[in-house]
């Protein structure tokens, strides 16, 4: 059915795949901003944006026609989808002034630099899997490489440069302070984050096997048969998952760790001087980081595309194939796997927003104390305990 696709030149195929993923990630990240507004509204007892409706006349006619579909149109309007489109249009077309006192080259470079790590880390995230003809599980990912997580960390930590660049190029006090805070915070929490995932890979790379840092293999090791094979790592390594989650909050600059932005004391932090399209690039990059970060958390600790602990994707597909034979085609299998995975990621996006409207933000010194004096020792202790435990279990 899809033979014609596999006959295309490899380069073209990769280009197409990459474009598709970016075209999915970019609107998804933008849609997160509407989710944020809706969830904040619901938590605060408001309905949230539910008014915007495009006119049927003029160049917005296609959108207007969608809006006039009886039930769907009202539903889309209620969920602020047209507001999202209007916001997108506004950010794209409004005047984008460059203040006179900034360093123009770096000022314009910064938002672009923020998009690069945000959109390229997704290449290493497997977001689904299907069984090929030989009944082997094949990951759906742009780049299925053995360095996996290392590549994500390496690229993801480049994101801080764009914040520093923005803060410095803005050439004024508040953005500068925001940039400095961003660098300090991201570096502090990256340590705990990296240390917290080590037990997972110590366990996955059992002696005798082939060494790997691939995220696909981590999911594979959570979908083995048997009681211990099917447990998710969030159950066997709760402390690791907890530290990773907290560090993820800090790495994505989410409340309660929104030091780079600090809208309470730094106006807008590193993006104070930005507006219109450049600002929205920072915004989308932040949400893209959230999506990729949640994805990695799901892969590492929540069994990736396995629907439930002890119920692997293979079991689900075999069970479903009895009812619906068409499920057994690669396309359907991949769609089911991607659906399950995106569902988990969606929950985490919701969790990020839920926490944002629950917790007050930390003070800067509290962020540093938490990072260096609490999380880092905890993650080192966690690593030592698990290293000894895993060594004992795997060499028995």
Q: Which residues of the shown chain bind another protein in the complex (CB under 8 A)?
A: 39, 41-47, 50, 354-355, 357-359
In degrees, rounded to 5, the angle at the alpha carbon of residue 195 between the alpha carbons of residues 391 and 291 is: 125
Distance separating alpha carbons of residues 260 and 354, to the nearest angstrom: 20
CA distance linking residue 139 with residue 126, whole number of Å: 6
Is the four-CA dihedral 259, 262, 266, 272 of positive or negative sign? Answer: positive
**Alpha-helical runs (H) found in 205-327:** 215-221, 227-230, 233-236, 238-251, 276-301, 313-323
Contact indicator for 324, 315 with CB cutoff of 8 Å: no
Q: Which is nearer to another protein, 44 or 395 (CB)?
A: 44
Q: Which is nearer to another protein, 332 or 357 (CB)?
A: 357
Give yes or no for a contact between 259 and 185, defined as CB atoms under 8 angstroms apart: yes
Q: How far apart are CB 378 and another protein at their closest, in Å?
A: 10
Q: 274: which residues sit within 8 A by CB, 6+ positions away?
A: 111, 166, 170, 268, 282
Of 102 and 353, which has the nearer Cβ to another protein? 353
Q: What is the largest CA-CA distance in the chain?
A: 74
Beta-carbon count within 10 A of 238 CB: 12
Min CB(32)–another protein separation in Å: 17
CB of 195 to another protein, least distance (A): 19
Q: At closest approach, how far in Å is the CB of 164 from another protein?
A: 30
Residue 250 beta carbon to another protein: minimum distance, rounded to whole angstroms: 15
Q: Give min distance, CB of 67 to another protein, in A.
A: 18
Q: Which residue lies nearer to another protein by CB, 45 or 226?
A: 45
* Rounded (to 5) percent helix, strand, coil in the chain: 70, 5, 30
Query: Which residues is 138 bridged to in the sheet?
Result: 130
Rg (CA), the chain: 22
Nearer to another protein, 47 or 62 (CB): 47
Q: Provide, rounded to whole angstroms, the least separation between the CB of residue 302 and another protein.
A: 18
Give CA–CA dist 52/375, Å, rounded: 44
Pick the closer one to another protein by CB: 39 or 367.
Answer: 39
Specify the residue, 215 or 375, whose C-beta has the smaller distance to another protein.
375
């Amino acid at each position: 059915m899809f033979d014609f696709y596999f006959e295309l030149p490899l380069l073209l195929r990769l280009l197409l795949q990459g474009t598709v993923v970016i075209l999915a990630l970019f609107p998804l990240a933008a849609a997160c901003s509407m989710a944020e507004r809706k969830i904040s509204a619901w938590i605060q007892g408001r309905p949230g944006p539910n008014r915007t409706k495009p006119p049927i006349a003029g160049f917005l006619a296609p959108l207007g026609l969608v809006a006039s579909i009886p039930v769907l149109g009202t539903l889309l309007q209620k969920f602020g989808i047209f507001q999202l489109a209007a916001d997108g249009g506004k950010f794209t077309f409004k005047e984008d002034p460059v203040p006179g006192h900034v360093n123009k080259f770096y000022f314009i470079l910064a938002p672009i630099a923020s998009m690069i790590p945000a959109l390229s880390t997704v290449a290493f995230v497997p977001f689904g899997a299907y069984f090929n003809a030989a009944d082997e599980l094949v990951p759906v990912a742009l780049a299925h490489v053995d360095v996996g997580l290392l590549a994500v960390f390496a690229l993801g930590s480049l994101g801080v440069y764009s914040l520093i660049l923005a803060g410095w190029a803005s050439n004024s006090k508040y953005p500068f302070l925001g940039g400095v805070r961003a660098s300090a915070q991201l570096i502090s929490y990256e340590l705990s984050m990296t240390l917290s995932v080590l037990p997972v890979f110590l366990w996955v790379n059992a002696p005798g096997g082939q060494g790997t840092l691939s995220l696909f293999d981590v999911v594979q090791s959570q979908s083995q048969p048997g009681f211990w094979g099917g447990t998710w790592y969030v159950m066997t390594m709760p402390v690791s998952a907890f530290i990773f989650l907290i560090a993820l909050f800090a790495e994505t600059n989410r409340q309660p760790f929104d030091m780079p932005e600090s809208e309470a004391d730094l106006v807008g932090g590193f993006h104070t001087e930005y507006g219109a399209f450049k600002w929205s690039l920072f915004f989308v990059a932040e949400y893209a980081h959230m999506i990729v970060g949640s994805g990695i958390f799901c892969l590492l600790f929540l069994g990736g595309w396995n629907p439930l602990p002890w119920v692997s994707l293979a079991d689900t597909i075999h069970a479903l194939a009895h009812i619906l034979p068409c499920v057994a085609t690669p396309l359907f299998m991949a769609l089911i796997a991607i659906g399950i995975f995106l569902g988990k990621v969606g929950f985490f996006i919701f969790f990020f927003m839920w926490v944002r409207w629950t917790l007050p933000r930390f003070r800067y010194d509290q962020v540093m104390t938490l990072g260096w004096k609490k999380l880092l020792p905890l993650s080192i202790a966690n690593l030592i305990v698990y290293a000894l435990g895993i060594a004992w279990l795997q060499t028995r």
